Structure 1
Amino acid sequence: MTTHPSGSHIKLHFRDSKGELIKTVEANEGDDILSIAHEHDIDLEGACEGSVACSTCHIILSPKHYDLLPEPEDDENDMLDMAFGLCETSRLGCQVKLTRELDDMTATLPAATRNMFVDGLSHPAGKKPTHH
């Protein structure tokens, strides 16, 4: 883990679909939400490992923080279109990099996710991924 000067941590709150606090963590500027979730054992899947090929790291952000982010790229929007429980402030956790302005942001996990790899919805020739 990289050491940073004292006070450079960004606070991030994870909530479940009912709004209950799962955990509040401190992360570093430049970290993405998916990596932070995995580092702190928060159940945010990320089946494609951040390659923007699934929607399993779908999160819902607080509106004031969502508005501070750059617009999603086309490939992220395409994956979000397939996300379960899509909201106006939905993003893919792998695509949200923390900045100082995002301090104290809340990321809410949806009630469910759709994993096209495992569900076989659009995987070529019905193949399922193999674990490495």
Structure 2
Amino acid sequence: MPKITVLPHTELCPQGAVIEAEAGTTICDALLKHDIDIDNACGGVCACTTCHVVVREGFKTLNEIDEDEDDMLDRAWGLTPQSRLSCQAILQATDVTVEIPKYSINLAKEGHH
């Protein structure tokens, strides 16, 4: 079972964490299952960027980024070459290390309509 190392995040995971998840699971689902409350305003359908993560290790072991995810990532705060939407990043058999950015663009949470 692959492990996800989550680097410390001030609000969501102050101490960092190491969790296990089944291969074939999205990073977002694995985090939520382990009480790391990453934003996911669209419910995991690749329609926002609130679940954006930076994959610090194991990026190339995840499924390929499709065109919809690539287009959506262009809107993410703090975009890097190792950015993924955690709702679209599917774990394989290899461990990964992720960083949850300090900010996310969540217009619903911020009161915009």
TM-score range, shorter chain: 0.7 to 0.9
- CA pair 117-51 structure 1, distance change in 2 beyond 3 A: same
Secondary structure, counterpart of 1:36 in structure 2 = helix
Q: Determine whether 1:11 maps to 2:20.
A: no
- The structure with higher relative contact order (CA 8 Å, sep 6+) is 2
The answer on whether the counterparts of 1:50 and 1:95 sit within 8 Å (CA) in structure 2 is yes
Identity score, percent: 35
* Correspondent of 1:34 among 28, 38, 62: 28
Partner residue of 2:68? 75
Name the structure where helix makes up a greater proportion of residues.
1
Structure 2: gaps spanning 5 or more residues = none
The answer on whether the counterparts of 1:32 and 1:98 sit within 8 Å (CA) in structure 2 is yes
Shift of 1:59: 0.3
User: Quick check: 30-39 or 66-75, which moved more?
Assistant: 66-75
Q: Distance in 2 between matches of 1:57 and 1:82?
A: 12
Across the aligned residues of Structure 1 and Structure 2, the Cα RMSD in angstroms comes to 1.8
The answer on whether the counterparts of 1:16 and 1:111 sit within 8 Å (CA) in structure 2 is no
Give the TM-score normalised by the residue count of structure 1. 0.74
Structure 1: gaps spanning 5 or more residues = 1-8, 121-125, 127-132
Which string of whole-angstrom CA distances, capped at 9 and with x for unpartnered residues, describes residues 43-75 of structure 1? 311111111010000000025x11233431111
Dislocated runs of 4+, deviation >6 Å: none
Tell me which amino acid in the other structure corresponds to 2:106. Answer: N
Aligned length: 109
Partner residue of 1:88? 81
Give the TM-score normalised by the residue count of structure 2. 0.85
Shift of 1:21: 5.0
